[in-house]
Structure formats: structure tokens, C-alpha cells
Amino acid sequence: MKYRTLMITAVGLALLAAPAAAAGARSGGPSILETFDTDGDGSLKQSEVDQFRGDRLAKFDTNGDGKLTLEEYRALWLDAMRERVVDAFQRLDNDGDAVVTREEFLEPFALIVSRLDRDNDGTVTREELRGRREAFRERHNARRGAHPGHSGPPQGVPQ
């Protein structure tokens, strides 16, 4: 349960960060340190995180009650995801003409069935998907040092 709380907290940090930070380092956005290190000393203090998060909450708390309604949270989330939306659009727009054609939209999924179809019969069954999911979990757990079949938090994470 604490592992789930840790994951939810990490997602929350990303959503309350600047839009570029929500995109993550892989897309060229700033890292968590770059986003929250407001005094620029190269280290992260809880007070900096709290200040940044408080500022973001205040920005989207349109009625000023110190809380976020669903509508206010939706506005915060959309602001945080704006850069990701643009990045995703640009990845689809292969020719860079600022329009995603039907062909460009379908292309990323053109081979999905052939990639997932283990027995090459032209269809993907629940069993084939389950097998891929289990294989993924085992690889993921092996990288994290967990035992096969263990779906809990990685070793070393406090429970």
C-alpha cells in the first residue's frame, strides 16, 4: 500500500510541476531538480517543493478557497499536459505540415496485431495478452531485484 502511495505522490509531483517538467527528461523537459530547485543551489529541499506546489495550487484555485474543485484540477492537469500534447501531435505529424492525416494517425498502430499475435493466426486473444503482460512483469521485477512472480514493490522500498 505504501508503494502505491509513493507512486501516486510521484505522479502528483509531475502534475503540479511546470508543463515542461510534466513531459519529463526524455522529451527534453527540465528534470525534477531543475523544476523545484527555486534557489538554484543544485539541491532540492522540501520547502522548495512545498512552495512550488503551493504556488501551482494557488494559481488554479480560482475561487480562492485553498482547495481544488474538479474543474480547477482539470485546468491544472491540462496546463501540465499541454506540452506533452504538442509533443505527441508532432510525433504523429510525420511531414511537419501541422496536420495529422488519417495515414499518420493510423501508422503507429499499423503493426500492433502482428506484434502481439503469438501464434500468427491474425488475432490477439486474452491469453496472448496475458502472456505478454506476465513476461513484462517478470522482466521488470528482475531488473528491480524482485523474485519471479512477485508483483509488490521493488526490494528496498519501505512498505
pLDDT block averages, 10 residues each, the chain of length 159: 48 46 48 88 93 95 97 95 92 96 95 92 93 89 70 45
- Which pLDDT belongs to residue 28? 52
Nearby residues of 148 by Cβ (< 8 Å), 6 or more positions away: 138, 141, 142
Taking alpha carbons only, the member of 29, 32, 25, 31 closest to residue 9 is 32
- The CA-atom distances, in angstroms, between 48 and each of 28, 33, 44, 92 are 22, 10, 7, 36
Q: Is the pTM above the cut of 0.75?
A: no
- Give the domain ranges of the chain: 2-94, 111-159
Instruction: Please state, as a whole number, how many other Cβ atoms lie within 10 Å of the Cβ of residue 23.
Output: 23
- The CA-atom distances, in angstroms, between 69 and each of 5, 50, 51, 61, 111 are 21, 20, 20, 8, 41
Taking alpha carbons only, the member of 76, 51, 20 closest to residue 32 is 20
State the maximum Cα–Cα separation within the chain, in Å, rounded to a whole number.
Answer: 59
Residues in the chain: 159
In eight-state DSSP terms, residue 153 is P
